[in-house]
Chains A and B, each alone.
Chain A
Amino acid sequence: MTLVTHPKAQRESLAEKLDIIVTPIFAVLLAIIGMAVWLYSDIDDTTRSILAPEKIQGQLIDTIILGFASSALVVAIAIPIGIAVTRRGLPRVKTFLVDTLGLAQALPAYGLIVIFFSFMGSGIVTVIFALATFSLLPVLRNTIVGLEQVDQAVIEAGRGMGYTKRQVLLQIELPLAVPIIIAGIRTAIVINIGMAALAFLVGGGGLGETINSGLKLDRNPAILIGAVLVAILALVFDFLSAVAQRYLKPKGM
């Protein structure tokens, strides 16, 4: 029995392959640019102190923690809501949620972080909540879409064989929705790591601090290296998520 491969399926695996190749290439390119700047531009003492390794290291860790914490929060909220909203009887709630959150995308993350700051004070927790609000939509929407695209015949067969509603959800709907849900989580992770760079605005630390110092003190190398580091960080996590996406796909799909 031969496997059926048609052009669209082939195109998808080309996309998957490129997915995993192009991002690292960009990361490497950026690293090279960063290196070049470090080696060949005018690095005075101020710049050196902005770019002190211990500082950078600390900021790096802060950014990663922020990115992950907010992603975890989002997943814990969005997936249950997505599940609840796709059960029978709630189509209007679903449309309402998706539309409203869609609008929330247009809110400037910058503004959101600052507003949260004004209510919750400075620090990591504030940033986590702000980021979670911002990245809620991708995960929620993908959960909804992922669950809705499961073949109705498969669900009917499952029910007909005696699976309870809960079993159908856990053993059939969710596993089959996983690829799409993970794509949403990946988007959320990337958004959150990226936005975590803005944490410095409200005292949340992170690599944005380096960029900001560079801007304030007018040191281009610091700005560039800071930006490059932030970019590489995001690309690395996107790459790791893409790899996870590939390997978490259920066999047989």
Chain B
Amino acid sequence: MSEPLIRLENVSKSYPGTDAPAVGNLTLDVYEGEVLVLVGPSGCGKSTTLRLINRLIEPTGGRIYLHGEDVTDMDSSKLRRKIGYVIQQVGLFPHRTIAENIATVPKLLGWDKAKTSARVDELLELVSMDPAIYRDRYPKELSGGQAQRVGVARALAADPEVLLMDEPFGAIDPITRDRLQNEFLRLQQDLKKTIVFVTHDIDEAIKMGNRIAILREGSEIAQIDTPEVILSDPADEFVENFLGSGAILKGLTLKKVRDIELHDIPALEMPVMRDEALKVLENSPEKTAVLLDKNHRPLRWISEASLNRTTQPIEKSGKPITIDLQPEDTLQDALGVMLQSSVGMAVVVDRQGKYLGCCSIESLASLIISDSGGQAKS
């Protein structure tokens, strides 16, 4: 194993007046390029631990190393300019534009205007926000999801190696949260930052983490390992209880839609005539086809029966497709979507919403069965 990028060595934090330390003698290594998730019940000290890394909270004992260098005593403001920090309430500066917000650390580090400006645009694109529209807007004009995207962009501005994230998606509605998580995972694939991520949600931890540290009170590590190992081999009762029931189902969050083979059903792109559609369906072993619009985006499920039942134009036959899956969605999400669909399948689309293929319950089921056969009994 290579040298850890971040090392907390025997770090502790006690507050005067309380007996039990918030963080008691913790030794933790974070390796380059990994996403380490700190997860645990409320009050266990995970946020405190996170903030010990960038010394927003000063340790009362122990040393902190970054890249092998002891940073426990260095100027804390300087340290933080090298570390990206994202918090739940975002904390965008309301009196500054989005561009100015993102440019904060580059400006502190003395970057020149042109370089900063280019970087701002680059980052806005990275988080899927059109720079031309958002550069000069103010935080009060953004929705919660957009604000957090800017928060992430702002943290990445000076290209830090390390990113600290404290329940970043906690204040966001579940649908947007899901989307942001997926986008973030995509981003991480490209950027390969070293990330310490705090959450209280075990599902989020499983989805986002390369390694998970399950913490007890006092930030004591109950188990620290990959999600697969933790799920199949929980270290003790505390971990088991924290995982909750349904480990197999939770295991579904480990695999993504892109991990299974997409089902190939006939795809009909508009404009297409009813007769043509009927012919295609007749000739195919499948019972259902998917109707796409001119831009290759899924519109409806079409079956032979639905076509025959009506004289309506094809755009009105069959059932409308209202939800879709993306390759980054977990199989757990996929299961939910497929169960809701009347045809037992779900369409998978890419970032632009274009049709990629279908996910069927059968392929999911066979995957679960083949997987659980290879898992140790718990």
A residues lining the B interface (CB < 8 Å): 1, 3-4, 151, 153-164, 167, 172, 175-176, 250-253
- Complex contacts, A158 vs chain B, CB 8 Å: 91, 93, 104
User: Smallest CB–CB gap between B143 and chain A, Å?
Assistant: 8
Contact yes or no, A1 B85, CB < 8 A: no
Not counting A1-B146, A161-B105, A161-B108, a sample of 18 additional A-B residue pairs whose C-beta atoms are within 8 angstroms of each other reads A1-B133, A3-B140, A4-B140, A151-B91, A153-B88, A153-B90, A153-B91, A157-B92, A160-B85, A161-B81, A161-B104, A162-B78, A164-B77, A167-B77, A167-B108, A172-B93, A252-B97, A253-B94
Contact yes or no, A153 B89, CB < 8 A: yes
Contact yes or no, B108 A176, CB < 8 A: no
Q: Which residue of B lies closest to A171 (CB)?
A: B93
Q: Which residue of A lies closest to B51 (CB)?
A: A160
B54 at the interface (CB under 8 A from A): yes
Contact yes or no, A175 B95, CB < 8 A: yes
Contact yes or no, A154 B92, CB < 8 A: yes
* A156 partner, pick from B56, B78, B94, beta carbons under 8 A: B56
B residues lining the A interface (CB < 8 Å): 54, 56, 77-82, 85, 87-97, 104-105, 108, 133, 137-143, 146, 151, 154-155, 164
Contact yes or no, A176 B77, CB < 8 A: no
- Complex contacts, A4 vs chain B, CB 8 Å: 140-141
Contact yes or no, B95 A160, CB < 8 A: no
CA distance A154 to B140 in the complex (A): 13
- Complex contacts, B137 vs chain A, CB 8 Å: 1
Query: Which of the listed residues A1, A4, A160 has the most CB atoms from chain B within 10 Å of its own CB?
Result: A160
Q: Which residue of A lies closest to B91 (CB)?
A: A157
Contact yes or no, B105 A252, CB < 8 A: no
- Complex contacts, B146 vs chain A, CB 8 Å: 1
Contact yes or no, B139 A161, CB < 8 A: no
Q: Which residue of B lies closest to A9 (CB)?
A: B140
* B95 partner, pick from A156, A162, A251, beta carbons under 8 A: A251
CA distance A251 to B79 in the complex (A): 31
CA distance A162 to B164 in the complex (A): 13
Asked, given contacts A1-B141, A159-B56, A160-B85, whether A154 binds B104 with beta carbons under 8 Å apart, the answer is no
* B93 partner, pick from A1, A154, A159, beta carbons under 8 A: A154
Closest 6 CB pairs of A and B: A157-B91, A162-B81, A252-B138, A160-B85, A153-B89, A162-B80
CA distance A251 to B104 in the complex (A): 17
User: Smallest CB–CB gap between B101 and chain A, Å?
Assistant: 9
Contact yes or no, A153 B87, CB < 8 A: yes
Contact yes or no, B80 A161, CB < 8 A: yes
- Complex contacts, B91 vs chain A, CB 8 Å: 151, 153-158, 160
User: Smallest CB–CB gap between A153 and chain B, Å?
Assistant: 4
CA distance A102 to B84 in the complex (A): 44
CA distance A4 to B151 in the complex (A): 20
